[in-house]
Amino acid sequence: MFDVEITGIGSYVPENKVTNDDLAALVDTSDEWIIQRTGIKERRISLGEDTTEMAEQAALRALEDAGVEAKDIDLIIVATVTPTYYFPSTACLLQARLGAGQATSFDISAGCTGFIYGVDIAAQFIKSGVHKTALVIGSEVLSKITDWSDRRTCVLFGDGAGAAVLQRGKAGIIAGFTGADGTGADYLYCHGVPLANQFLPLQDYGPHYTVMNGKEVFKFAVSMVPKNILRVLEGTGYTLDDIKYFVPHQANTRIIEAAAKKLHVDLDRFYINIDKYGNTSSASIPIALDEMAGKGQLLSGDLIIIAGFGAGLTYGAHLIKWTTAGQKK
């Protein structure tokens, strides 16, 4: 068994900013209403960049941060619910763009928990000796599956991508797990291609937009985030007091505040950037990590916990020791 560490991190968001006031011109909402309920002030919306293009930009930045060349990557995992195509996978498209022809490449769909699922899968491949260097990306163009006439959902989501390089090395990925509760699948979903062929009448499932039962998803998240943080610490010898930062999926500030309260942890130890980007699904955690690293907030030896939840319903967490030193260039 080999130890695994994160050696590079990178992110990319579109330049186009959409403020709450911009959305108030589209639907019956207001800046105050959105901030009070979500904590979001603005989000980035693509004006042309697709999932693969954003994944490439985030990946290149992560590779540069790690000092790794594309030819050294032997595993690419892209977590997304908004792939460029149904097939081939976004990971295969990315492999070609990067020139990483030797890399096993595939997508995973775990909603907003996608990056955590990807890290978990990559870490197992590396620990077992099957692969040495993995690129894990969360990339989403949620704007293309958003109903811009529905004020309950259109105010929540943003576009973006985040990437991490995982390699054999120091003991950086200390503990982690993933899970799912499929009984909650109907709480958050988006229809695919309807079943139709020459032997069946056309079935209309309606628009292919994100549908969410916000109340149920909120209840699930408020319950699971603190549980998962405590669970990932079990058997490690570490306690909440040892953790420098908690980096949760950025879905709603009220969820994060509730988790901090349940754990009796100061809110300032929870990293929050949802006000700038909205909910970017699988990209939210790596975007946050890259932002933290860029500010010099993550130093070698720091212990952090990443925790997520998403469509499925899925969930997971990782206890990570940061092994790179200093502020990113």
Query: 34 is written with which tokens?
Result: 């959105």
Domains within the chain, CATH numbers bracketed: 4-170 (3.40.47.10), 175-321 (3.40.47.10)
Tell the residue number behind the tokens 């979500």, with chain if given.
Answer: 38
pLDDT at 156: 97
Active site residue 252: no
Per-residue pLDDT at 28: 95
- The pLDDT of residue 53 is 98
Peptide bond before residue 313 is cis, with ω within 30 degrees of 0: yes
Confidence (pLDDT) at 149: 94
Q: Which amino acid is at 76?
A: I
List phi, psi (to 5°) of 199. -110, 5
DSSP labels for 6-75? EEEEEEE--S-EEEHHHHHTTSS--HHHHHHHH---EEE--SS--HHHHHHHHHHHHHHHHT--GGG--E
- Residues facing residue 108 across a β-bridge: 79
What is the model's pLDDT at position 201?
73
Catalytic site residue from 112, 190, 228, 252:
112
Amino acid at 55: A
If the chain, 329 residues long, is cut into consecutive pieces of 10 residues, what is the mean pLDDT of each piece?
Answer: 96 98 96 96 97 98 97 97 97 98 98 98 98 98 96 96 97 97 95 81 75 95 97 98 98 97 97 98 98 95 97 98 74
Residue from 20, 228, 252, 279 carrying the catalytic annotation: 279
Kind of pairing, strands 160-168 and 4-12?
antiparallel
Distance CA 97, CA 101 (A): 9
Report the alpha-carbon distance of residue 223 to residue 242 in Å, rounded. Answer: 22
- Catalytic residue, from 154, 249, 252, 318: name it: 249
For residues 124 and 3, what is the distance between their CA atoms, to the nearest angstrom?
10
Please confirm, yes or no, whether 249 is among the known catalytic residues: yes
* Integer CA distances (angstroms), 273 to 25, 41, 193, in order: 24, 10, 34
Choose among 82, 319, 317: nearest CA to 179. 317
Mapped onto helix, strand or coil, the DSSP state of residue 319 is: strand
Supply the pTM of this predicted model: 0.95
Whether 279 is catalytic is yes
Q: Which two tokens stand for residue 15?
A: 């330049």
